[in-house]
A and B are shown apart, each in its own frame.
Chain A
Amino acid sequence: MSAANTHDEPAPESGIDQAAEAPDASLAAVVGAQAIELVGMGLGIASVFVRTLYSCVRGRPDFGAVVRQMFEIGNRSVVFLTVVMGFIGMILVLQGGLQVKRILPEFSMVGASYLELLVRDLAATISALMLATRVGAGIAAEIGSMVVTEQVDALRMCAADPIDYLIKPRFLASLVMTICLVIWAAGVAMLTGMLTAYIMFDVNPRTFFNLNLVDTGDLVVGLAKCLAYGAAIPVVAGHSGLTTHGGSEGVGWATTRAVVNASLAVIVLDLILSALGYMLLGP
C-alpha cells in the first residue's frame, strides 16, 4: 500500500513543481518574463548579425576557412537534400493531382502550377527547413562544443574575435551554398515530380514541363528567399552556439535551440517575403 503510494504520488507533483517554479508568479509575470527573454534573444541575434556583416567588410579575409565551410555546408548536404527533395516532389505532385482530380477532368495544368509553386516558394523553403536542421544543428553543436571546452575563450584571449573567426566563414559559405543547393533541389524535385505525374496520372513530360506560369517576379521572390534563409540560418545557429553554457547537456540544449529558432526564422521570413512579393509583384 505504502509502496504504491510513494510510487504514485510524485507523478502529479513533479509536473506541478515544474509548472510553477516560483509559486507566487502571476500570469503577467510569466508572460512578461517570456517576452523579455524573447526580446533579449532577438537583440542577441541582431547583434551577431550586425557584427558578422561588419567583419565581412572590415575583418581579416580568410578564404581557406570559407572554402572549408562551403564543403562542410554544401557538399555534405547534397545527399540528404536530394533524398528529401526527391520525395517532396513526388508527394506534392501526388497530392496536387488528387486535388485537381476532384474538380477538373484533365491534368494539363498540374505541371505549370507545380513549377510555379516550386520556383516561388517550396524549393527554397523546404530546402531551407532541411538546411536549418542539418546545418543549423551542425554549427550549433560545433561552436557549442568549442564554448564548453573553452576554446572560444582562448580565441578571445588571443585577441581573435569569435564572430570574425567562426561565424563569418559559415555566414559567407552558407550564403553561397544555399543558392546552389536550392537550385539543385529544385531540379531534383522537378524531375521526380515529372516522373510521378507520368506514372500516376499519365501526364506527358513535355506537357508537364510547362514554364508559362513562371515569370520574373516568381524567380526574384525565390532567389530573395534563398538569400534571406542563407543569411539567417548561420547567424541564428551561431548565436545559440555562442550562448551555450553547461557541459554536454548545454551543447544538447544549444543544438535544440538552434534547430527550433532557425526553422522558425525560415517560416517567419517565408511569410514576410511571400506577402511582400504578393503585394509588390502581384500573384
Chain B
Amino acid sequence: MPPKKPSSAASPPPPDVGLLEEIGGGFLGAAATVGGMGLLGYQILRRLVTFRIDRAETLRNLYRMGVKSIPIVIVTALFTGAIMVIQAAPLVVRLGAQGLLGWGAGFGILREIAPLLTALMINGRVGANNTAELGTMVVTEQIDALRVLAIDPIAFLIAPRFVAIVTTLFLSTIFADTLALLGAAYGGLGLLGVEPKTFYNGLTSGLLGLSDVTSGLVKSIVFGVVMALSSCQYGLGVKGGAPGVGRAVNATVVASAAGIFILDYFVSFTLD
C-alpha cells in the first residue's frame, strides 16, 4: 500500500505554479526547441556539405513523401483556385472588369495562397508522418541501435528526410501554382461565366511578373526548411510510448504551422 501512494501523488503536476513561472516556462521551452532546431540544422548542413548522406534512403523518402503526396496537392490546389475566384468575384462584379479576374485571383494564388496551403497540407501529411516515424524509432530504441552499429543517425536518417521534405515542398508548390490557376480558370467559367481565355489574358497582361512566382517559390523553400527541422526535432525528442508519439505529432504540427505563418510574413515583408 505505501509504495502506491507516492506514485499516484507524483503524477499530477505541482499545483502551485504561478503565472510568471508558467510564462517563463513556456518561453524557455520555445527557446530550447528553436535552439535544438538550429543545432540540428547545423549538423545536417555539415553532412550535406561533405556529401555524407545516404542515397538510397533519400530516394526512398523522396518517393514516400513526394510522389505519395501528389493526390492531396492536386485536390487542394484545384479547390483553392476555385475558392480564390469566388473571393475575387466582387472585384469583377463591382468594377465590371472581367479582365481583372485573372490578375486578382492570380496575384493571391501565386504569391500567397498556393505556397501557404500546399505547405499546410504537406505539413499535415509529411511532417506529421515523419515525426511519428522517427518517434516510433526512438521509442523502440532503433536510433540507439544505429549508434551501436556506428551508423551516424543524422547522415542516415535525418539528412535524407530534410532533403526530401524541402524538395517535395518546392516541387509541389510549382505543381500547385499551375493547378490552382487551372482550377481558378474553370471555376471562373462555371461560377461567373468568365471565359478561361479572358482569365489567362488577365493573368499575362503584364500586371503579374516573374517576381510574383519566385516570391512564392522562395517561401516554399523556407517553409520546407522549417517543417523538416521541426518535425525531425520533435520526432527525435519523443518520450514515453504510444501516447508520447501522439503528443509529439500534435506538437510538431502546431509548431510547424505557427512557424510557417510567422516566416511567411517576414519573407513577404523582405521580398516586396
Inter-subunit contact B112/A91 (CB<8 Å): yes
Inter-subunit contact B56/A248 (CB<8 Å): no
Set of chain A residues within 8 Å of B244, measured between Cβ atoms: 248
Known contacts: A83-B261, A134-B254, A248-B139. The answer to whether A259 contacts B56 by CB under 8 A is no
State in angstroms the CA–CA spacing of A114 and B131 once bound together. Answer: 37
Q: Is A275 an interface position by the 8 A CB rule? A: yes
Inter-subunit contact B87/A117 (CB<8 Å): yes
Inter-subunit contact A260/B72 (CB<8 Å): yes
Residue of A98, A137, A250, A274 touching B86 (CB-CB under 8 A): A274
Residue of A145, A256, A278 touching B132 (CB-CB under 8 A): A256
Q: Is A185 an interface position by the 8 A CB rule? A: no
State which size class the interface on B falls in: 35 or more
Inter-subunit contact B243/A145 (CB<8 Å): yes
Inter-subunit contact A137/B243 (CB<8 Å): no
Set of chain A residues within 8 Å of B125, measured between Cβ atoms: 256, 259-260
Q: Is A178 an interface position by the 8 A CB rule? A: no
Would you give the shortest CB distance from A79 to chain B, in whole angstroms?
Answer: 9
Q: Is B230 an interface position by the 8 A CB rule? A: no
When each residue 14-43 of chain B gets 1 if its CB lies under 8 Å from chain A and 0 otherwise, what string results? 000000000000000000000000000000
Q: How many residues in A have their beta carbons less than 8 Å from beta carbons of B? A: 65
Q: Is A64 an interface position by the 8 A CB rule? A: no
Q: Is B262 an interface position by the 8 A CB rule? A: yes
When each residue 82-110 of chain B gets 1 if its CB lies under 8 Å from chain A and 0 otherwise, what string results? 11001101110110000000001001100
Would you give the shortest CB distance from A202 to chain B, in whole angstroms?
Answer: 16
State in angstroms the CA–CA spacing of A94 and B107 once bound together. Answer: 13
Residue of B93, B132, B241, B264 touching A255 (CB-CB under 8 A): B132
Inter-subunit contact A7/B258 (CB<8 Å): no
Set of chain B residues within 8 Å of A113, measured between Cβ atoms: 90-91
Inter-subunit contact A271/B136 (CB<8 Å): no
Inter-subunit contact A133/B254 (CB<8 Å): yes
Give the interface segment out of B44-52, B73-81, B145-153, B168-176.
Answer: B73-81
Beyond A19-B63, A264-B121, A279-B191, 20 additional contacts (C-beta under 8 Å) are: A14-B59, A84-B258, A90-B265, A91-B264, A95-B108, A95-B268, A129-B120, A138-B250, A144-B246, A145-B242, A149-B242, A248-B246, A251-B246, A251-B249, A252-B136, A255-B249, A256-B128, A259-B128, A263-B121, A267-B80
Residues of A within 8 A of B (CB): 7-8, 10-12, 14-15, 18-19, 80, 83-84, 87-88, 90-92, 94-95, 98-99, 102-103, 113, 116-117, 120-121, 129-130, 132-134, 137-138, 140-142, 144-145, 148-149, 213, 247-253, 255-256, 259-260, 263-264, 267-268, 270-271, 274-275, 278-279, 283
22 chain-A/chain-B pairs, Cβ below 8 angstroms: A12-B59, A80-B254, A80-B257, A87-B261, A91-B112, A91-B265, A95-B108, A102-B207, A142-B246, A144-B242, A145-B242, A248-B135, A248-B242, A252-B245, A256-B129, A259-B124, A267-B76, A267-B117, A270-B79, A271-B82, A274-B86, A275-B86
